[in-house]
Amino acid sequence: MNFELYAKKYAMVPHIENGYFKEIYRSKQSVNDHAPGISSIYFLMEKDAITRIRQLNEIDEIIVYLDGNPVEIMMIDLEGKIQKFILGKNVAKNENLEIAIPAKYLASFKSLDSDDNTIDFSLFGCICSPAFDYQKFHVLNINEIYKKYPNIDKNQIQEFFLIQ
């Protein structure tokens, strides 16, 4: 499979983060009598794409590798500490099959190159609990991050602002 085949097969649409997605599941069971308990999507990125830095309030998220190139995930915790992980299938290269992003953490994704130059995409699943809700989703610009975390290492996050 390649980028175009996945995009067509799952009728993916553009996402505000800078990628394409398709919701696969949304629970009919609610949490605290209001939000559905869980949701999942497929998220597709073109090779070398970078998503905008975003935050999910009150929603934990599990990111699961599915296919294609590995993905660098940058997270910023509540104190402004930066953590970076590689999502992928090559555990010998310290890649992770899944990564948890706690609620309120900032996160961004970057599709990386792989050993196979013919791969033009990264595909991963996002499982949210409670279910994803755009009202609890916020894309941040660079000034918002610097204001929120004045002591953050700007060199470590600069590459994630290439599209903003």
Q: What is the pLDDT along the chain (164 residues), one digit of tens a residue?
A: 699 999 999 999 999 999 999 999 999 988 776 778 999 999 999 999 999 999 999 999 999 999 999 999 999 999 999 999 999 999 999 999 999 999 999 999 999 988 778 899 999 999 999 999 999 999 998 889 999 999 888 888 887 775 44
The pair phi, psi for residue 77, each rounded to 5°, is -80, -175
Domain boundaries, the chain: 3-161
Predicted confidence at residue 164, as pLDDT, reads: 44
Can you say whether residue 145 is alpha, beta or left, with left for phi > 0 and alpha for psi between -120 and 50 degrees? Answer: alpha
Tokens read off for 115: 């050993």
Tokens read off for 133: 């809700």
Instruction: Report the CATH fold assignment for 3-161.
Output: Jelly Rolls (2.60.120)
Predicted confidence at residue 41, as pLDDT, reads: 98
Kindly list the distances between the CA atom of residue 57 and the CA atoms of 12, 28, 88, 93, in Å, as whole numbers in the listed order.
Answer: 24, 21, 26, 32
In 10 A of CB 55, how many CB atoms? 20
- Please, are residues 66 and 88 in contact by the beta-carbon 8 Å criterion? no
Q: Is the full-model pTM beyond 0.85? A: yes
Strand pairing class (60-68; 137-139) = unpaired
Strand pairing class (30-31; 35-36) = antiparallel
Tokens read off for 19: 């990628």
